Amino acid sequence: MATAELKRILESLFFAAEAPLSLDRLSVLVERSKADLRPVVTELIETFDQAGYGFYLAEVAGGYQFRTRQDYAPWVRKLSKERPFRFSPAALETLAMVAYRQPVTRSEVEYLRGVDSGGVMKTLLEKGLIRILGKKDVPGRPLMYGTSRKFLEFFGLRDLNDLPTLKEFSALDPGLEMDDWAEAADLLPASPDQHDESTESL
Amino acid sequence: MAIEIRLEKFEGPLDLLLHLIKTNEMDIYDIPMVEITEQYLAVIDRMKQLNLDIAGEFLLMAATLIHIKSRLLLPVADEPGEEEEEADPRAELVRRLLEYQRYKEVARVLEDSSQLDRDVFVRHFSLPEYLGETDEEGDTVGIYQLTAAFHQLLKEASREVYHEVVREPLSVADHIQLVLGRLRESPRLAFRDVFPQRPARAELVVTFLALLELVKMRMIHLVQAERYGMIWLSLAVPADQRDVPALEEDSFGYG
């Protein structure tokens, strides 16, 4: 089939799909290799970008999905009676920690935040933004949490690598050290585990 | 210095400390402990005056600050062979503050990102609960949802009072065969339909255990079309491998 036809097929699939469609899934659906499909999808993204529609083809959660443009959010919001969900600073802080530190236990998050986080984490779990990954092999076998695919969809992230790189703050003013970036992996080792022990003995 | 702070906006003691350090333009690597402790305690005092519930975490941090302050006052014992202690008692606190600040920054980025259903929208569908043959469309059911579904069942099961106690031998192995038998008849079963109509609690539990064992043996799939939607069971093995050869009840260890 011609590329133009393939483009229209993919377009119709994105239009009709409920969740982001990955290249893997597209490959099964249209019976073409991922290598064949990738340039067509890229072209589609550009097409919708340049055509100036009220929506665009977004790359989220390992797939592709039509989304309305942010500029038109005030209008689209009127469609629904529900007010959009607002994240509390506590929820966002906790999400950030789980996203970068996963798999992470509740007590590790609490040590990082300095406050009890049980309620926040339960809410995030119920909203499906974080999920249980397993149990940590330490005394008490605490649950380990990580972020879900829904988390990526919710914040429009392609994958976890799409998260902003953690800034290495060597000074407190965030404006001062803009160039100073650090890998998430470099972050503070060990101390949450110390905390684990101390809570164990309490 | 008068402290003008809206107390409720602080997420916790680390947040409050960061704020104090910033507004006083203190050097994070050389925090003046006397001053910061004084200011921190002043804020706590004001919380008390306003009859705010002071979370334990704020008090714990106050204790930590006072502890660090007192350790700074002690002469440094530089006897060799003594246990290696951190040179600066403030080091751990500084590390925590910087780390916390990083995540606060990320939280801000997340807040500003194009959030679904707030800034960007996708099309919503009301599809039937199960999407036909396409197995991949369903989300894999996590243990959290599975237990939630089971709890719902247990809640509905009556707590009958039995006057005569009859020990009914319920075997997980038997129930595994039972569930497999049901799946042989229809390729997909609703989670709820696997359980008997008016079951005793013990029977619910044994059936649920059988389910878990089957998942563990990778004999069945559990999928659902949407979160908190109905959970569906289907066979994960081809037809000719559906028979579980002689399951020993003892091998499960439920005794």
Residue A58 phi, psi dihedral angles, 5° rounding: -95, 145
| Shortest alpha-carbon distance between residue A201 and chain B (Å) | 16
Among B42, B44, B75, smallest CA distance to B59 is for B44
Return the structure tokens found at B74.
């002690």
B206 and B171 Cβ atoms separated by less than 8 Å:
yes
Q: What is the three-class DSSP state of A163?
A: coil
- Which tens digit of pLDDT belongs to each residue from A52-72? 899 999 999 999 999 999 999
Return the structure tokens found at A113.
């935040």
Preferred mutation among B8, B10, B114, B223 to probe A, highest tally of A CBs within 10 A: B114
| Shortest alpha-carbon distance between residue A155 and chain B (Å) | 5
Q: What is the three-class DSSP state of A60?
A: strand
In the Cβ-directed half-sphere of B59, how many Cα atoms lie within 13 Å?
7
Q: Packing angle between helix B13-23 and helix B33-49, nearest 10 degrees?
A: 120
Per-residue confidence (pLDDT) for residue B100, from 0 to 100 = 92
Q: Pairing mode, if any, of strands A63-68 and A55-60?
A: antiparallel
Spell out the per-residue pLDDT of chain A, length 202, in tens: 678 899 999 999 999 988 899 999 999 999 999 999 999 999 999 999 998 899 999 999 999 999 999 999 999 988 887 777 889 889 999 999 999 998 999 999 999 998 889 999 999 998 889 998 888 889 888 999 999 999 999 999 998 888 877 765 444 444 333 333 333 333 333 333 333 333 333 3
Query: How many C-beta atoms surround the C-beta of residue A199 within 10 A?
Result: 13
Among B199, B212, B219, B195, smallest CA distance to B252 is for B212
Per-residue confidence (pLDDT) for residue A188, from 0 to 100 = 33
Among A65, A93, A48, smallest CA distance to A152 is for A65
Catalogue the long-range contacts made by A147-153 (C-beta closer than 8 Å, 24 or more residues apart).
Answer: A147/A95, A147/A98, A147/A99, A147/A102, A149/A61, A149/A62, A150/A61, A150/B227, A151/A95, A151/A99, A152/A60, A152/A61, A152/A62, A153/A19, A153/A20, A153/A60, A153/A61, A153/A65, A153/B116
- Could B120 and A115 be called an inter-chain contact, meaning their C-beta atoms sit closer than 8 Å? no
| Shortest alpha-carbon distance between residue A38 and chain B (Å) | 21
- Could A85 and B122 be called an inter-chain contact, meaning their C-beta atoms sit closer than 8 Å? no
B35 and B1 Cβ atoms separated by less than 8 Å:
no
Beta-ladder partners of A59: A64
Helix ranges, B129-190 (H): 143-156, 172-185
Per-residue confidence (pLDDT) for residue B239, from 0 to 100 = 60
Q: What is the three-class DSSP state of A78?
A: coil
Spell out the per-residue pLDDT of chain B, length 255, in tens: 444 556 667 888 899 999 899 888 888 888 899 999 999 999 888 877 776 667 788 888 999 999 998 888 887 665 555 555 557 888 889 999 999 999 998 999 999 998 998 899 998 765 544 444 344 445 667 777 788 888 888 877 766 666 666 666 778 888 888 888 888 887 788 888 888 777 778 888 888 988 888 888 888 888 887 767 788 888 877 666 656 556 666 667 665
Per-residue confidence (pLDDT) for residue B45, from 0 to 100 = 86
For the entire predicted model, the pTM comes to: 0.64
Per-residue confidence (pLDDT) for residue A146, from 0 to 100 = 94
Helix ranges, chain B (H): 13-23, 33-49, 56-73, 91-112, 143-156, 172-185, 191-194, 201-216
Query: Which chain B residue has its CA at the smallest distance from A145's CA?
Result: B144
Residue in A89, A95, A155 closest to B11 by CB = A89
Per-residue confidence (pLDDT) for residue B159, from 0 to 100 = 65
Among B235, B219, B228, B226, smallest CA distance to B130 is for B226
Per-residue confidence (pLDDT) for residue B129, from 0 to 100 = 46
Query: Which chain B residue has its CA at the smallest distance from A101's CA?
Result: B103
Give DSSP secondary structure letters for A17-52: -SSPBPHHHHHHHHT--HHHHHHHHHHHHHHHHHTT
Based on its alpha-carbon atoms, the radius of gyration of chain A, rounded to whole angstroms, reads 21
Per-residue confidence (pLDDT) for residue A145, from 0 to 100 = 94
Helix ranges, A102-137 (H): 106-113, 118-126
- Report cis status (omega within 30 of 0) of the bond before A103: yes
Per-residue confidence (pLDDT) for residue B242, from 0 to 100 = 57
